[in-house]
Copies of this chain bind each other. A is one copy, B any other.
Amino acid sequence: MMKPLDDTYFMKKALQEAEAALEKGEIPIGAVVVIKDRIIARAHNLTETLNDVTAHAEMQAITAAANFLGGKYLKDCTLYVTIEPCQMCAGALYWSQISRVVYGARDEQRGCINMKTKLHPKTVLTGGILEKEASEILKRFFIEKRNLN
Task: Name A residues whose Cβ lies closer than 8 Å to a Cβ of B.
Answer: 47-48, 51-54, 59, 62-63, 66-67, 70-73, 86-92, 94-96, 115-118
Chain B neighbourhood of A70, CB < 8 A: 51
* Alpha-carbon gap, A86 to B88, bound state (A): 9
Partner of A95, one of B51, B71, B88, B90: B88
A54 touches B59 (CB 8 A): yes
- Residue in A70, A91, A94, A118 whose Cβ sees the most chain B Cβ within 10 Å: A91
B91 touches A72 (CB 8 A): no
Partner of A91, one of B48, B73, B90: B90
* Alpha-carbon gap, A118 to B86, bound state (A): 11
Partner of A66, one of B53, B62, B72: B53
Residue on B nearest A70 in the bound complex, by CB: B51
